[in-house]
Amino acid sequence: MSLLVVGSVALDTIETPFGKVEDAVGGSAMYFSASASYFTDVRLVAVIGEDFPGEPLEFLGRRGVDLEGLHRTEGKTFRWIGKYTHDLNEAITIDTQLNVFGDFHPVLPESYRDSEVVFLANIHPALQLEVLEQVREPKFVAMDTMNFWIEGEREALGKVLERVDMVVINDGEARMLADEANVVQAAKKIQEMGPDYVVIKRGEYGALLFTPGDIFFAPAYPLEAVFDPTGAGDTFAGGMLGYLTKHGTFDTSCMKSATVVGCTMASFDVEKFSYENLEDLSLAQIEARGERFQALTNHEPLALLDGDA
């Protein structure tokens, strides 16, 4: 199966308590593709400006990511300037410069239109709909969104939600979308809007997967050195969708493992700036860390009914 992602490729200027980078390569589609490429073929749709460097594209090419849908146009690349304080769960946006992304309308190359799995990264819901119009017969569609669209583009967002199988959003976005403080009830309300599967990302705490009849929780691995959380959410989604596409099954069991793979990939991402730590992993390395995740919550069965208490 092949996996299509539509989103942003960006240049990020980021300050964390541990350092600062200027014009580091980022964007949702960049992180997603790098992460998913460890598991499956990826087709990328995004736009970059004349100033975007060549090396990241060579990297994606080496990782087998199809770049036919990556358009380079006149103007400057989309830029995000942000920072994190010691609460690494929350990014503070200092400036967003849309640049070439302002006029972006995703056009899928003919060769992409048979994509079976689709990830609509965080872009305007109207653009997410444009993508869905161009994909012939997707088997599984997942989406991300953000508070900006939840507040201002409810109607278009509602139309996307009706057509997707899974939504991957963070805690605060889920609460806002459902207008409900309790995360379990929020997930249920979102399921009623369309998607069977709701994945709620909780930063350093992990991710919750809500299926039609089940709840699953994948913890984030407690890392000693979280350096830069930028891209963690998209790296998570890339790992999750990449794993699902590799196996071509979308049942609850595979979905649970995929959630753990997502958390595993995100744990690599946050250890360095940009996509640096996603450049040269091996599946054995990913599996080894995935096993550490599993060990993190493994325990003997509770012995409550025996003994002399």
Q: Which residues bind a copy of itself (CB under 8 A)?
A: 17, 39-41, 86, 181-185, 202, 204-206, 208, 215-219, 222-226, 243, 246-247, 253-254, 256-257, 259-261, 283-284, 286-287, 290-291, 294, 296-305, 307-309
Residue with Cβ nearer a copy of itself (152 or 222): 222
Q: Residue 161 and residue 164: Cα distance in Å, rounded?
A: 5
Instruction: Look at residue 285 and give its three-state secondary structure.
Output: helix
Closest CB 244 distance from a copy of itself, rounded Å? 11
Half-sphere exposure of 158 (CA within 13 A, CB side): 8
Residue closest to 52 by CA, chosen among 91, 16, 88, 101: 101
Closest CB 181 distance from a copy of itself, rounded Å? 4
Q: Residue 221 and residue 139: Cα distance in Å, rounded?
A: 31
Closest CB 131 distance from a copy of itself, rounded Å? 23
Residue with Cβ nearer a copy of itself (55 or 284): 284
Residue with Cβ nearer a copy of itself (17 or 152): 17
Residue with tokens 């595979």: 254
Closest CB 98 distance from a copy of itself, rounded Å? 32
Closest CB 277 distance from a copy of itself, rounded Å? 17
Residue with Cβ nearer a copy of itself (181 or 212): 181
CA distances to 33, 80, 88, 131, 184 from 241, rounded to whole Å, are 10, 25, 25, 17, 23
Residue with tokens 């071509």: 248
Residue with Cβ nearer a copy of itself (19 or 158): 19
**CB 157, CB 132: distance < 8 Å:** no
